[in-house]
Structure 1
Amino acid sequence: MVPRSTPNHKLEAERLKRRWSVEVATKKIGVSVNTFNRWERGLQLPQLETLDLLCKAFDMSPEELGFEHIIANKRRVRKSDPAHEIPEAHLSHEQPSLVAPKSIGFVQPYIQDFTIRQVPGGTNERLSGIQELGQGTTTRRQAMALLVNTSSTVFDMAQGGAKSPLYPDEILLLSAVNIPLCWQLYYEGGFVELRSILPSYIQQLTVLALPPSRYQKQAAYLASQVHQLSYLLALQNQDFGTSLNHTQEALHYAHIAEDTNLQIASLARKAYIYFCLHRNGQKLQAYEEAFRLCNTCSPLLRGYIYAGLAETYASYQDEARAHEFLQLAHKHYPDRPEEDPTYIYTHFRWPTFYNLAGQIHLHLKQPEEAWKSFMTVDRLVPECEEPYRVELMVYQAATAVELGDMEQGCDLLIAAVQSARNLGSELRYNEAYKVYIHMQTRWRNEARVQALEELFS
């Protein structure tokens, strides 16, 4: 997000001309009220995917809505661009399939012909960061970022229509090794690193996944995963429009890959967006579409979809169907989710199951049972997994309020807000704010609750 120093008067004027409230505008676009307010105040810029949705909602161009500078600085990669064409020499030059090496040293011959000054803009800083990492104690998170960043830097050398220094087989090999690391980096809180890294992977894999070739299915399989990761990052910013676009792209590439598991995972991601937006009808549609594919999917995904349907029916207060699907979820959920073939790109685990179970009990006004479920999650999730921990603390705080435990609720809310800020998660921060509003309604005159206002000032 790029801050602006002046409000976007054009956007505000067009909204007022249509007599739209901010709430009406956000529903048409698929973003949060907070995000749209930040656009109008000039504090945030929409990503390109969200800008498309904004322009369609207003039936106007980016320039007419005050976003001409985005078009000047960022260009969407199109199929007609040279970067989307696989170099003919690469397609005709048959190479033996590569096996995973013990190191990534084979990339070095392709890098040695480049000097730092020849690397495309934006990459110099990343190379400097790589050099600095080797000069001191390296954390696990830094090590993972270093590995995936190295490949991203090489990928960026092919920007602007330049010929890639790597063959398609090598691009796919690097991606297959590093994308699982990207998932792990996400769950250890590496949002900042991934936001700079993932676009390079998307660009390179899109080049290989769109045209028919012997690389297409494998590239599409990996591209779907990267779009699911990008969905998660956009979701943390409450950029629901961009998140939804990434789930649609993930589903598109899953179809190209002819991978049912990836299709179901993409639909599960879409359902979660509607969960965040409180759009139960669309959430149910996404889960039902996934449910129709479940006969041929992995046990982990089947269990997750059943649990998602249970949560959805609970939100409709349909207790019988909620319990029916929760029992099915428990029956099909594998004892060791980490051994399921889809775990590498879903990270659905038993904490995921109990998290959904807690939501079900909250919907059904069963806070004691919800608290038990969330305490189970608390025992299972390690402290280092920041995204899971902050989500859990928000849900625990909400449950404490339902139980009438003000002190516990305040303690959990303070911890959740601090963690959300450290993580850079606007989604969890705003969820915590909603819990605070609920606490105000219940304990308006309590000094402890009044003091929480400082968290959100």
Structure 2
Amino acid sequence: MKRNKLEEARTNKHWTRAIAAEKIGIDLNTLYRWEVGKTTPREYNVLKLCEVYGKTAEDLGFLQPSMIETHEVIHTLEPVLPQNSTILSQVTSAISEVLLSTLDHLGEGQNMDQLRRQLMKEIIEGAGVVLLSPLALPLLDMQQMPSSSVTIEDFLSQSDASIKACWHISKDNGLLIAEGILSSTIPALNKIINQPSKYQRIAAQIGTQANIIYASIAMHKLNFSARETYCLEAIRNGRLSGDNKLHAAALMYLGYTYSFCKPLQPKKAVNTFLEALHVLKDEDALLKSDICMGLADVYAQCSEEKQAHKYIEQAQLQFPMHPEQDASYVYAGCDLSILYQWEGKMYLDLAAHYPNKDYQQRAWNAFEEGENIQSLSAYSNNETIIYHADAARGLEDLELYTKLLREGTQMAISLGSKKRYSEAFEVFKKTPEKWKQEQQIKQLGKDLFRQVPGRI
């Protein structure tokens, strides 16, 4: 059956199917099949449609009112498992063990210390009711479980625990797991956010973080239009939350989208980062250091040397002695190794404009410092290695260039990050002409890129 509401949402924006498909991050034929009713989008895709069109799932014809009972806000989610159920405890414990075992299998869980593993286990188990709700795990035989109801306060508490779990596992090769957890929580959460009530602010705080995580997932899939959409939704939620740090964080992630995702839009990035600083005001926070890192790099892209140095110095000045004690530590996505990484990136960008200065060496030194510090994120560590290889290229060190680029590319493949792989490929394409006949370069291309650099 044709989905008239879905088609109307598109035509009301005066978009062709091609334009809408690009904004949603799908191909044209997929959108056509959804609109004419030949296929049905998955829940995650329905969420994308809602965000792009600014509609609820019900507005688009996907969600019947009976699926989630609502009055002024969501009052109950039935049927669900009671939080104190023995069965619930056993199943959520099993889920946490599966998630940690998955990380071990991928080679990342073994790198965690025991304290962090235990913290992750507790966080995941705390999210049990959300993970085991009918929205998240419909294969459970709910008729065999005791019935109860979860109040909106319980739901928000459990959603908050889910988001905490997502932040931790998304830093250790767990983006797909995080995506699955988010997709079970977001639809009901959005209903609370979109209806004025005493719960709206706390729901918006959780929603801001959820959309930032979604934005990170989209980036690693090279879906930059979706990343921008998620960042804009995070900003909307950040405003509703009344939390300046979260609002500024959402703006910061949008700024990095413009400065770091193609097509690069440095002027938009500068304005977005400056708006983030304005929202943050005079609050001392790790987040302020992170925003200044972004400004330093984007000014370097624009060859504004003085401004670049000004903001990297601000980033260093604002960086706290104990970043893990900062309230924004989880979602700021920043530790000391990342400070060195962005300093190195800034020098690489300045080197492109000022080749006669010593910026290549300074970039190398910064990346060297960053690699000597344990990063909170495997993805960030991967990024540092790739840019370290680029600095070796600038210093004309063939051996280190080959070694680091191989290491960085293999790590990108193991993480499943298209973004990191594309960054490695961009560095590979810059291989100096005089190196292209070297055996290690040919082998690197054959092993990891399937071709000789320059023949793209």
Same fold (TM over 0.5): yes
- The answer to whether the Cα contact below 8 Å between 2:75 and 2:151 also exists between their aligned partners in 1 is no
Residue aligning to 1:116 = none
Shift of the 110–289 alpha-carbon distance from structure 1 to 2, 3 Å rule, reads: farther
- How much does 1:129 deviate? 7.4
Q: Any idea what SS the aligned residue of 1:439 has?
A: coil
Q: Any idea what SS the aligned residue of 2:422 has?
A: helix
- The answer to whether the Cα contact below 8 Å between 2:244 and 2:279 also exists between their aligned partners in 1 is yes
Q: Distance in 1 between matches of 2:349 and 2:304?
A: 10
Q: 2:242 aligns with which of 255, 258, 278?
A: 258
Please say which of residues 292-301 and 65-74 is displaced more in the overlay.
Answer: 65-74
CA RMSD of aligned residues (A): 3.8
Residue aligning to 1:153 = 131
- Superposed CA deviations along residues 430-452 of structure 1, whole A, max 9, x for unmatched, are 11011111115451221211111
Q: 2:380 is aligned with what amino acid?
A: Y
Shift of the 336–279 alpha-carbon distance from structure 1 to 2, 3 Å rule, reads: same
Q: Distance in 2 between matches of 1:62 and 1:92?
A: 34
- The answer to whether the Cα contact below 8 Å between 2:74 and 2:191 also exists between their aligned partners in 1 is no
- The answer to whether the Cα contact below 8 Å between 2:286 and 2:326 also exists between their aligned partners in 1 is yes
Q: Any idea what SS the aligned residue of 2:232 has?
A: helix
Q: 1:373 aligns with which of 366, 372, 393?
A: 366
Equivalent residues in 2 for 1:213-252, closer than 5 Å:
213-252=197-236
Q: 2:31 aligns with which of 44, 50, 62?
A: 62
Shift of the 273–367 alpha-carbon distance from structure 1 to 2, 3 Å rule, reads: same
Q: Distance in 2 between matches of 1:361 and 1:195?
A: 34
Q: Distance in 2 between matches of 1:236 and 1:130?
A: 25
Shift of the 187–72 alpha-carbon distance from structure 1 to 2, 3 Å rule, reads: closer
- How much does 1:185 deviate? 0.7
- How much does 1:195 deviate? 2.1
Q: Distance in 1 between matches of 2:70 and 2:282?
A: 37
- How much does 1:47 deviate? 9.4
2:49 corresponds to 1:49 = no
Q: Distance in 2 between matches of 1:305 and 1:433?
A: 27
Equivalent residues in 2 for 1:141-220, closer than 5 Å:
143=121, 147=125, 150-157=128-135, 165-220=149-204
Residue aligning to 1:325 = 311
- The answer to whether the Cα contact below 8 Å between 2:96 and 2:125 also exists between their aligned partners in 1 is no
Q: Distance in 1 between matches of 2:429 and 2:99?
A: 46
Shift of the 89–165 alpha-carbon distance from structure 1 to 2, 3 Å rule, reads: farther
Residue aligning to 2:8 = none
Shift of the 442–394 alpha-carbon distance from structure 1 to 2, 3 Å rule, reads: farther
Shift of the 452–440 alpha-carbon distance from structure 1 to 2, 3 Å rule, reads: farther
Q: 1:107 aligns with which of 60, 76, 83?
A: 83
Equivalent residues in 2 for 1:16-35, closer than 5 Å:
none
- The answer to whether the Cα contact below 8 Å between 2:285 and 2:318 also exists between their aligned partners in 1 is yes
Q: Distance in 2 between matches of 1:134 and 1:355?
A: 29
Shift of the 428–149 alpha-carbon distance from structure 1 to 2, 3 Å rule, reads: farther
Q: 1:87 aligns with which of 49, 60, 70?
A: 70
Q: Distance in 2 between matches of 1:320 and 1:132?
A: 51
Residue aligning to 1:76 = 46
Residue aligning to 2:326 = 340
- How much does 1:255 deviate? 0.8
- The answer to whether the Cα contact below 8 Å between 1:306 and 1:329 also exists between their aligned partners in 2 is yes
Residue aligning to 1:287 = 273
Equivalent residues in 2 for 1:415-454, closer than 5 Å:
415-439=407-431, 441-454=433-446
Q: Distance in 2 between matches of 1:300 and 1:333?
A: 6
Q: Distance in 2 between matches of 1:134 and 1:182?
A: 11
Q: Any idea what SS the aligned residue of 1:199 has?
A: helix
Shift of the 67–405 alpha-carbon distance from structure 1 to 2, 3 Å rule, reads: farther
- How much does 1:391 deviate? 1.0
Shift of the 148–412 alpha-carbon distance from structure 1 to 2, 3 Å rule, reads: farther
- The answer to whether the Cα contact below 8 Å between 1:148 and 1:181 also exists between their aligned partners in 2 is no
- The answer to whether the Cα contact below 8 Å between 2:290 and 2:332 also exists between their aligned partners in 1 is no
- Superposed CA deviations along residues 390-447 of structure 1, whole A, max 9, x for unmatched, are 1111111111111111111111111111111111100000110111111154512212
Q: Any idea what SS the aligned residue of 2:389 has?
A: helix
Please say which of residues 291-300 and 254-263 is displaced more in the overlay.
Answer: 291-300
- The answer to whether the Cα contact below 8 Å between 2:413 and 2:421 also exists between their aligned partners in 1 is yes
Shift of the 444–191 alpha-carbon distance from structure 1 to 2, 3 Å rule, reads: same
- How much does 1:352 deviate? 2.0
- How much does 1:71 deviate? 4.4
Q: Distance in 2 between matches of 1:269 and 1:337?
A: 19
- How much does 1:169 deviate? 0.8
- Superposed CA deviations along residues 74-100 of structure 1, whole A, max 9, x for unmatched, are 66252644379663498679xxxxxxx
- The answer to whether the Cα contact below 8 Å between 2:344 and 2:367 also exists between their aligned partners in 1 is yes
Q: Distance in 2 between matches of 1:171 and 1:367?
A: 51
Unaligned runs of at least 5 residues, structure 1: 1-17, 19-24, 30-45, 94-104, 113-125
Residue aligning to 2:3 = none
Equivalent residues in 2 for 1:129-144, closer than 5 Å:
130=95, 133=98, 140=117, 143=121
Residue aligning to 1:390 = 382
Q: Distance in 2 between matches of 1:449 and 1:329?
A: 37
Q: 1:416 is aligned with what amino acid?
A: G
Q: Distance in 2 between matches of 1:291 and 1:305?
A: 7
Residue aligning to 2:397 = 405
Q: Return the TM-score normalized by structure 2.
A: 0.74
Q: Any idea what SS the aligned residue of 1:107 has?
A: coil
Please say which of residues 79-88 and 126-135 is displaced more in the overlay.
Answer: 126-135
Q: Return the TM-score normalized by structure 1.
A: 0.73
